Structure 1
Amino acid sequence: MASELPMPRPFPHDPPTSEHDMTLSQTSTREALGRQIKRAHRGASAPLIMGILNTTPDSFSDGGVYTQEASAARRALSIAQEGAAIIDVGGESTRPDSNPVPLETERARIAAGLEASVRTGCAVSCDTYKPDIARYAVQAGAVMINDVGGMTIDPAMRCVAAESGALIVIMHGLRETLAGDVTDGLSVFFEKAIHDALAAGVAPESIILDPGIGFNKSDAQNIACFNALPALRHRFDMPLLVGISRKSLLGRLTGRDVQGRLPASLAAATIAARQGAAIIRVHDVAPHVDAMRVTHALSAVTSGRHE
């Protein structure tokens, strides 16, 4: 049995007067975010931006930058002020050569980031594949679980999602590979993952799908994921999340290092949006917010849609 994690520390800022009030606030935030995601999924609004807050020492792009409480708080506030709809807090790197960390280490890493993110009033997500960490994050105020393990590494994650009512991102690729047609391979994976989630009591309107660009895929397969987005959107009618920001694929395409990949990230995000993504996960929030607004506005013009 996994070890129990301690409850989150009380919020140091004007906390809700009771646990009931906190639950009401969290439910309101989750429902509002769900409505926003649904609008973006339908194409009625621009894709939402999920800003990345890595509290890890070894993430590929910003490892070690936000490991202290003050720096994590500044980053959370910046993400919110720059217009992100979601702050995604993660305490374990999932780059190819990274190692898993103990529950207590991951919890300690994300504690301050979660608290600071909730204080901003932004919807908060926790990037983890561990049910105990997800449960802890929801207790701390998170309304979304970004499971890079696709709820397959530990089936208990399905129970956490069902019991908490949190929105859940099911990502492909942390432990899976693709063979043959990319669209077919992703579809087979998502069909089973969705079936298992629904069987555990997860509400269908809570599920978001992520093809896992950069995870256990060749460059050709990563590129094919973009082509697969419309088919996945049509087949499952569930919102799609795409994370391409600063990834090594963009480095190989452009020859740029991690810090020089913003233009490539914006280009890829624009393509993802045009292909039907409802959420774009990014490091550079403000430029992506602007890019998604313009992409949506110009898409409305070219399609003859008027809002």
Structure 2
Amino acid sequence: MSDLLRSAHPVVMGVLNVTPDSFSDGGRYAGLDAAVGHGIEMHRQGADLVDVGGESTRPGAGRVDPETEARRVLPVIRELAAAGVPMSIDTTRASVAAAALAAGVSVVNDVSGGLADPDMGKVVAEAGCPWVLMHWRGHAERMQDLATYRDVVAEVRDELRQRVDEALAAGVAADRIVIDPGLGFAKRAEHNLQLTARLPELLALGYPLLFAASRKSYLGSLLRGADGTARPVGERDAATIATSVLAVAAGSWGVRVHDVRGTADALAVWAASGRPRLAAEGAA
């Protein structure tokens, strides 16, 4: 999986919510057969990783206990591992991450960046696996109350640097760290757009960056219809693809999306155009 972090092509992470209440597809893949089938299909469509999550992190969502979270994801992980599907686990809990790693995942995607569970760093360090550290200021119930910034890009950059420093102090190897600016997590629409426009400032930290804008509410607000209502979740994929291509062109390592096929197709066209990533140009 270290090869994935050095991938020459943009990594596509497909979202697999094994939950009844996720904002985009809550309940659609809560059953074992549906979840496994969708995971296999996303991998076939071009997902380099299938990101399995058992707890909704949409704004306002309540927490579930770790036993429920593990019970949702582990059977799916075992089946997908048997089918040869590479996976990450979307969790903030060290116990769930450890169980998922033992069951077959190879990457930990932690939306709290290690803040929610002080044992996560130890689990990741011992496993030697990649760890996605997302910018985070609090759990879903109250995170939007924390969306206050003077300069969102500078503050997100500095807070991500702190998370990286903590990960390194826990024994996680520098070449196993990925950062994520946390679009939509304690961020308002204007914050998400500023982060998108100024990604090179985050990339200057020197770590691969995962960009995860897929179907989020700020895209719906941007795409309001003639009646003034926000575009519904199921009609945000074109905007998601646009943001994903922009992020990759700016130098992002990967994108986390619901629509794997559309994203993979768009990135194939971008790659065929011969346009290098901006970060690669700067490195040269």
Normalising by structure 1, report the TM-score.
Answer: 0.83
Per the TM alignment, residue 92 of structure 1 is displaced from its structure 2 partner at its CA by 0.2
- Match in the other structure for 1:240: 209
- Match in the other structure for 2:171: 201
Secondary structure class of the residue paired with 1:89: strand
Distance 1:246 1:187 in 2: 24
- Match in the other structure for 2:241: 266
Distance 1:302 1:78 in 2: 28
Checking the alignment, whether the CA contact within 8 Å between 2:132 and 2:180 is kept in structure 1 is yes
Checking the alignment, whether the CA contact within 8 Å between 2:180 and 2:209 is kept in structure 1 is yes
1:51 aligns with 2:14: yes
- Match in the other structure for 2:187: 217
Query: What are the superposed Cα offsets for residues 85-143 of structure 1, whole Å, 9 maximum, x if unpaired?
Result: 00100000001111110111001110222123212323210000011011111011111
For structure 2, the residue ranges without an aligned partner over 5 or more in a row are 139-145, 225-230
- Match in the other structure for 1:6: none
1:37 aligns with 2:2: no
Amino acid of the structure 1 residue aligned with 2:222: L
1:81-230 to 2 correspondence within 5 Å?
81-175=44-138, 177-230=147-200
For structure 1, the residue ranges without an aligned partner over 5 or more in a row are 1-29, 40-44
Checking the alignment, whether the CA contact within 8 Å between 2:248 and 2:277 is kept in structure 1 is no
Indicate which of 201, 226, 232 corresponds to 1:231. Answer: 201
Distance 2:78 2:191 in 1: 37
Query: What are the superposed Cα offsets for residues 1-23 of structure 1, whole Å, 9 maximum, x if unpaired?
Result: xxxxxxxxxxxxxxxxxxxxxxx
- Match in the other structure for 2:143: none
- Match in the other structure for 1:298: 273
Distance 1:301 1:78 in 2: 29
Normalising by structure 2, report the TM-score.
Answer: 0.89
Checking the alignment, whether the CA contact within 8 Å between 1:162 and 1:202 is kept in structure 2 is yes
Checking the alignment, whether the CA contact within 8 Å between 1:80 and 1:120 is kept in structure 2 is no
Aligned length: 266
Query: What are the superposed Cα offsets for residues 218-276 of structure 1, whole Å, 9 maximum, x if unpaired?
Result: 11111011123111112x21100011111111100112211111111111111111111
Distance 2:77 2:196 in 1: 31
Checking the alignment, whether the CA contact within 8 Å between 2:220 and 2:232 is kept in structure 1 is yes
Change in CA separation of 1:64 and 1:91 when aligned onto 2, cut-off 3 Å: same
- Match in the other structure for 1:73: 36
- Match in the other structure for 2:264: 289
Amino acid of the structure 1 residue aligned with 2:4: Q
Per the TM alignment, residue 177 of structure 1 is displaced from its structure 2 partner at its CA by 4.2
Amino acid of the structure 1 residue aligned with 2:32: E
Checking the alignment, whether the CA contact within 8 Å between 1:37 and 1:279 is kept in structure 2 is no
Secondary structure class of the residue paired with 1:87: strand
